Structure 1
Amino acid sequence: MAEPGPLDCLIIGAGPAGLTAALYLARFNRRIAVLDGRESRAAWIPTTHNFPLFAEGIAGPALLDRQRENLAQYGITPRHARVTALHRKDGGFEAVLEDDPTPLRARRILLATGAVDVEPALPDHPDALKRGLIRYCPICDGFEARGKRVAVLGHGARGLGEAVFLARSYTKDVTLLTLGQALSEEDEARAREHGIQLLTAPIEALEVEGDRIAAIRAGGAEHRFETLYSALGLKVRSDLALALGAGHDEAGALIVDDHNRTTIPGLYAAGDVVRGLNQVVVAMGHAAVAATDIHNHCELPTEDEPGGPGRPVRRPASP
């Protein structure tokens, strides 16, 4: 039978950040639950070489499997569930679940819902990114693309910025595919400065070889590449926090303090849902910091409970 009363912490999200926070809090002997929407961006990673201890690299699904196995020894199994709303109640929170009429109550929440990459609209391959036909993190695997012929799908500041990053760091053979979007004169000049070729015509057809897109037909001609990256942006899954009024940047990424507290008392955030560098090791660091702060405050009343410290809410700076 479950213990009465609210959880010490409810962790929403079971990617690298959520699972790391669960490990820390389990070892702190805290009453927690982990909700897994099964949409972790890490599950798309073919291989990351930026994760210490794995010289040969490790695939995202394998990393998540290891984390879940580690948690199992503490009796923690993530529950497949989606949270549709968070409400403030009795100094804590109440999480409304999609397919369960009974809400979960917790004194504190750790939001580790991450972000999702915007999928490119490609002929006959609408899910190319999820299928691994296109790469999405040159920080993770750009080193393996050094000296190769690389294309970047994107436009605007983000697309050009990723193309410049690859051209400066790994290869001089970079083409920016703008999917029919025109570039400003300033952006065209910046592309020329870094030797980046531009292909502004819409994509007409694709040629897939094994687990990658090898050729693209655009503007009536075929263009072949060894590696293709998507740089169309992210959709940050911060809606639960935004509905509570949490501080965020223009992209919806949450603003947190040095303890990974959001501007909502008792609500923490870690990983890609937080403004900053989207990397597995960063997400795990966020989680360790947040979980330790949650543990250190578990015996104390929250800011909204009687006797609470009345800590003023830190407001985000103007963008």
Structure 2
Amino acid sequence: MFDCIVVGGGPAGLNAALVLGRSKRNVMLIDENQARNAVTHESHGFITRDGVSPQQFRAAAHADLQTYPNLQIEQDRVIDIQKEESVFVVKTATTVFKSRKVILATGLKDKLPDVENIWHYYGKSLFNCPFCDGWEMKDKPLLVIVESEAALHFPKMIWNWSDNLVLATNGKWRLTGEQKAPFLKREIAIMEEAIIELEGTNGQLETVHFQDGTSVKRSGGFVETKLVQATSLAEAAGCEQTDIGGIKTDEFGRTTVAGLFACGDTALKAPPQLILAAADGSKVASRVIGDLIDEDF
């Protein structure tokens, strides 16, 4: 019987496991190594780790965790979590574990616009988070793909890093003349035609082709993605979700299923950034320890 099983080995799950391990608890981290940021070459915004690859970050984290003999790491895929009285039964693809508490840190996955070849460029020259990758794209001629009302705001954020922008709504959103005015004033081109193809070499964007026959040269850009849960484990376990698709939790990560917690991007309470996810993992793990101590007393 484990005190806590952490499902998911991204920054939130890793930091949660660290806090739990250092609290002398019997802990297991289960991770299938299918991280959302695996498509990127470098991670940014985490002090002392700025510029490392996701693989380097994970390896360094595992090295930290392996110094605690009460903490086990299992590479496997969790397929089901059910609560039987006060105990959680966690089924993986190969075995079954039992635990007093469970932390879900399974993260999110990106749903990209329906654009030909877009996955060839995502994580290489097309990105979602300007705080994560804006510095590397600074002052370049950039494409900004937005298919919703975020077209009114997202390009303004990207403008902070480069004022050479083309806003493309991919035929899904049209701006009024009044809405276009502040962009046109700053010479930001607006393309409302559908994108038929992205063209480039080795993941580096070079040309964007539109349905009306227009083509523009771009060296990369940013894209609005839709974030969805990476797994259905929380829903299957009976957790309620928020209106935006996150797992409903209180401020300490408790879900609507007693003893089951969620942290990091999974809860969708903060922008999906490495350092914010890690911080949330630490906070939620501390609350798990508090709840275990309360039960023990």
- The reply to whether TM is greater than 0.5 is yes
Q: Is the 8 A contact 2:120 2:203 kept in 1?
A: no
Amino acid at match of 1:222: S
Residue 114 of structure 1 corresponds to 107
Deviation digits for residues 274-294 of structure 1, max 9, x if unmatched?
A: 122211111111111111121
Query: What is aligned with 2:58?
Result: 64
Equivalent residue number for residue 53 of structure 1: 48
Distance 1:191 1:49, change over 3 A: farther
Matches within 5 A, 1:285-304: 285-301=279-295
CA shift, 1:223, in A, is 0.8
User: What TM-score do you get using the length of structure 1 for normalisation?
Assistant: 0.82
1:25 aligned to 20, 28, 35, which one? Answer: 20
Larger RCO: 1 or 2 (CA < 8 Å, sep 6+) = 2
Question: Secondary structure at the residue paired with 1:285?
Answer: helix
> 1:53-92 maps to which residues of 2 (within 5 A)?
53-54=48-49, 57-75=51-69, 76=71, 78-92=73-87
Offset of 1:92 from its aligned partner? Answer: 2.5
Q: 5+ residue gaps in structure 2?
A: none
Bigger mean CA offset, 207-216 vs 190-199 = 190-199
Cα root mean square deviation, aligned: 2.4
Distance 1:238 1:87 in 2: 15
User: CA separation of 1:71/1:38 partners in 2, compared to 1, >3 Å: closer, same or farther?
Assistant: same
**For 1:77 and 1:244, how far apart are their aligned partners in 2?**
23
Distance apart, 1:129 and its partner CA? 5.2
Q: Is the 8 A contact 1:260 1:270 kept in 2?
A: yes
Q: Secondary structure at the match of 2:174?
A: coil
Percent identity over the alignment?
23
1:262 is matched with which residue? 255
Q: Which residue of 2 aligns with 1:103?
A: 96
**CA distance in 2 between partners of 1:294 and 1:44 (Å):** 32
SS in 2 for 1:253: coil
Does 2:132 match 1:140? yes
Answer whether contact 1:43 1:64 (CA < 8 A) is retained: no
Please list every run of at least 4 consecutive aligned residues from structure 1 whose deviation after the TM superposition is greater than 6 angstroms.
none
Report how many residues are paired.
Answer: 291
Counterpart amino acid of residue 193 in structure 1: P
Alignment-mate amino acid for residue 248 of structure 1: Q
Q: Residues 108-140 of structure 1, C-alpha deviation per residue, up to 9 Å, x if partnerless? A: 1100011011134333x3632556342221121
- TM-score, normalised with respect to structure 2: 0.87
| Equivalent residues of 1:271, 1:287 under 8 A apart | yes
Which consecutive unaligned segments of at least 5 residues does structure 1 have?
1-5, 308-319
Alpha-carbon contact 1:11-1:112 (below 8 Å) kept: yes
